Amino acid sequence: MQGKTIRVAGPVVVAEGLTGAQMYEVMRVGAMGLIGEVIRLEGDRATIQVYEDTSGLRVGDTVEATGAPLQIELGPGLLGSIFDGVQRPLPLLRQQAGDFIARGITMPAIDRSKKWEFMPTVRAGDLVGPGDILGTVAETSRLPHRILVPPTIQGIVEEIRAGEFTVDETIGTIRATGNHDATTPIQLTQKWAMRHGRPYARKLDPDTPLLTGQRVIDSFFPVTKGGTAIIPGGFGSGKTVAEQTLAKWADADIVIYVGCGERGNEMTEVLAEFPRLTDARTNEPLMRRTILIANTSNMPVAAREASIYTGITLAEYYRDMGYDVAMMADSTSRWGEALREVSGRLEEMPGEEGYPAYLATRLAEFYERAGRVVALGKDERVGSVTVVGAVSPPGGDFSEPMTQNSLRVAGAFWGLDTGLARRRHFPAINWITSYSLYDLRKWFVENVATDWEAQTGEAMALLQEEAKLMEIVQLVGADALPEDQKALLQVARMLREDYLQQFAFHEIDGFCPPKKQYWMLRAILTFHDELIRALKRSVSLERVIKASASISQPIDTGGVPSKMQESPAGGLEKAVEPGSVPQHPGDHGTALERAMRLPVVAEISRMKEWEHDKAEARGRALIEETERELSALR
């Protein structure tokens, strides 16, 4: 079927003469055959969003219907690939067309010439249904790539062959049950229309964390395998670093990283850096578990949407094999902007801030494709897709539609704080406004420490108390606070600097396993407990000294002005009590000040450097030392 364009407006093209076209059918537009998708149908008129640069297109150009929606090719050879938004392999595109992607090029996503060793696990005569495993291919040395019966096929295996195959060759046939003529040839690849979620047997409650090795996340705002999290943050607050850090460290089997509409140089960094990295858990090249989708800001706007759907479809495919997949999208806001632009060109009734009224539904439908599921197939495999979406609210204002609609559907909210980023507190996740709706206490208690929950709860309570106290401090100054509250401020500072802050590029501290998180936190909380006790003792001790001083030297005290705080300097100098005259240099100041100079405090600030497997031993030693030093504090 062929039509003719009657209007071209940026990425949106209207064509007529397309009676019978389907919504989301792929059209090849103009002489170059630009790839586009039907997004509106009225009679024989189709509105097409074009995924390539439309400059040069004219009214009257031909539009060719392809009869199929945009399909993602799924099969062995995906891992390690770098695709553009419509799943064209970028390195090959570049070879063929230079650095600027030539338009209208189609290119198979998966290498056609490579042969894969296929080992069947079914035999001729077996009855198979959607999602059943037909056999495996060693896509990487660690992850068997399971070749599954496509979701629409059910029948008897007529023929199945072991051996080396390219992805196009037939590995066997399935004869549909009840219909003896219909046999379907099976290849190592299959296709899936990207806008539809792949089917599964049933959803499960997520109950396992996706460990990120980032203390603020794992300890306080964890996300589950199969959960969703969003990272909203203003310009330069650390969204990209956060997404990339998660892509490196998250304990997923497979990572799909979508660079959506962000600056090209950021994606270049990823493309340059990732292939050099090794996965600390498996010691294999990180790219073996990674698929990169690059749709940078200089690429056509409409393809941003395609990049998101390509990413989630690839994620679901590996989920169906029984793997835990994590998808990172940086930034979903650029997709939102593309929706806004296209909607504007369609002259749709705008919703909030010019975004289309269906923005909320679109986002919800996307995030709903995350989840932990029992896959189709007899063996009840469990797999998951976790989605972590960055959101870039203009001016860092979280009340804007993209942030609001995303947080409504996301399970964890890691709000980046421009103020923290400015003070170089990284990751700049605001611990007061962030939250996680996932209850993972059971997992941490069973797998890390029985008092995990009590401990992280206590630490968060201290941080929240600090936030309250800081308001008072801003009004009246820290000196007005009683000693135990001053102590709390010191410990909260420790929590912030020695625990929450984590430099993403640090050789050891870039990733912090939960056990180490536990011992680090326990060391700080022990310090707090012992400090409070020491301060109580020192107060009673001071009282005793004062009391005995007033008995032994009644005349002296009477003659000395009792308060030096009333000095014009604003009360910064401390009254020097008789009897607390410094004995040697390290001995001056209040008990709290002396406590904060103890060697254990320095050791706490070095905990991040602890080697992971020595964290428990060093933690225990530090805790003992803390008890010793603070109980000796006078």
Ligand X SMILES: Nc1ncnc2c1ncn2[C@@H]1O[C@H](COP(=O)(O)OP(=O)(O)OP(=O)(O)O)[C@@H](O)[C@H]1O
Q: Which range, of 237-245, 247-255, 355-363, 369-377, touches ligand X by CB under 6 A?
A: 237-245
Beta bridge partners of 257: 292, 328
Nearest approach, Cβ of 338 to ligand X (angstroms)? 16
Instruction: Kindly write out the interface string for residues 492-511 of this chain, putting x where it contacts ligand X by CB under 6 A and - elsewhere.
Output: -----------xx-------
Angle CA(333)–CA(335)–CA(337) in degrees, nearest 5? 70
Residue 119: DSSP 8-state? E
Nearest approach, Cβ of 426 to ligand X (angstroms)? 3
Count of residues of this chain found to bind ligand X when the rule CB under 6 A is applied:
14
Rg for the chain, CA atoms, rounded: 31
DSSP letters, 81-108, are: -EE-TTS-BHHHHHHHH-SSPPTT----
Q: Does 580 bind ligand X (CB under 6 A)?
A: no
- The Cα 523–Cα 440 span in angstroms is 23
- The Cα 77–Cα 139 span in angstroms is 6
Near ligand X in 259-318, by CB under 6 A: 262
- The Cα 148–Cα 163 span in angstroms is 17
> Of the two residues 413 and 426, which places its CB atom closer to ligand X in the complex?
426
Q: Show the tokens assigned to 372.
A: 């932990």
Residue 319 binding result from Mg ion, ligand X, none, given CB thresholds of 5 to 8 Å by partner type: none
Q: Does 240 bind Mg ion (CB under 5 A)?
A: yes
Residue 305 binding result from ligand X, Mg ion, none, given CB thresholds of 5 to 8 Å by partner type: none
- The Cα 485–Cα 136 span in angstroms is 62
Q: Does 236 bind ligand X (CB under 6 A)?
A: yes
> Of the two residues 506 and 628, which places its CB atom closer to ligand X in the complex?
506
Per-residue HEC secondary structure of 572-621 comes to CCCCCCCCCCCCCHHHCCCHHHHHCCCHHHHHHCCHHHCCHHHHHHHHHH
Q: Show the tokens assigned to 18.
A: 């397309």
Q: Does 245 bind Mg ion (CB under 5 A)?
A: no
- HSE of 389 in the Cβ direction (CA atoms, 13 Å)? 33
Q: How many residues does the chain have?
A: 634
Which strands, in side-by-side order, build the sheet including 183-187? 127-128, 155-160, 170-176, 183-187
Nearest approach, Cβ of 263 to ligand X (angstroms)? 7
Q: Does 136 bind Mg ion (CB under 5 A)?
A: no
Which of 190, 224, 228, 237 touches ligand X by CB under 6 A?
237
Q: Show the tokens assigned to 463.
A: 């941080």
Q: Does 241 bind ligand X (CB under 6 A)?
A: yes
Nearest approach, Cβ of 265 to ligand X (angstroms)? 10
Pair 630, 595: CB distance under 8 Å? yes
Which of 130, 135, 238, 322 touches ligand X by CB under 6 A?
238
Q: Which range, of 141-149, 231-239, 298-306, 588-596, touches ligand X by CB under 6 A?
A: 231-239
Q: Does 426 bind ligand X (CB under 6 A)?
A: yes
Angle CA(568)–CA(573)–CA(579) in degrees, nearest 5? 135
Q: Does 333 bind Mg ion (CB under 5 A)?
A: no
Residue 69 binding result from ligand X, Mg ion, none, given CB thresholds of 5 to 8 Å by partner type: none
Nearest approach, Cβ of 331 to ligand X (angstroms)? 7
Near ligand X in 360-419, by CB under 6 A: 392
- The Cα 36–Cα 27 span in angstroms is 5
Q: Which range, of 119-127, 235-243, 271-279, 621-629, touches ligand X by CB under 6 A?
A: 235-243
Q: Which of 324, 331, 323 is nearest to 210 (CA)?
A: 324
Q: Does 332 bind ligand X (CB under 6 A)?
A: no
> Of the two residues 392 and 455, which places its CB atom closer to ligand X in the complex?
392
Q: Does 212 bind Mg ion (CB under 5 A)?
A: no
Q: Which range, of 238-246, 402-410, 480-488, 537-545, touches Mg ion by CB under 5 A?
A: 238-246
Residue 607 binding result from Mg ion, ligand X, none, given CB thresholds of 5 to 8 Å by partner type: none
Q: Does 239 bind ligand X (CB under 6 A)?
A: yes
Lookup result for tokens 């600027």 = 100
Nearest approach, Cβ of 256 to ligand X (angstroms)? 18
- Positions touching Mg ion (CB under 5 A) are 239-240
- Positions touching ligand X (CB under 6 A) are 233, 235-241, 262, 392, 426-427, 503-504
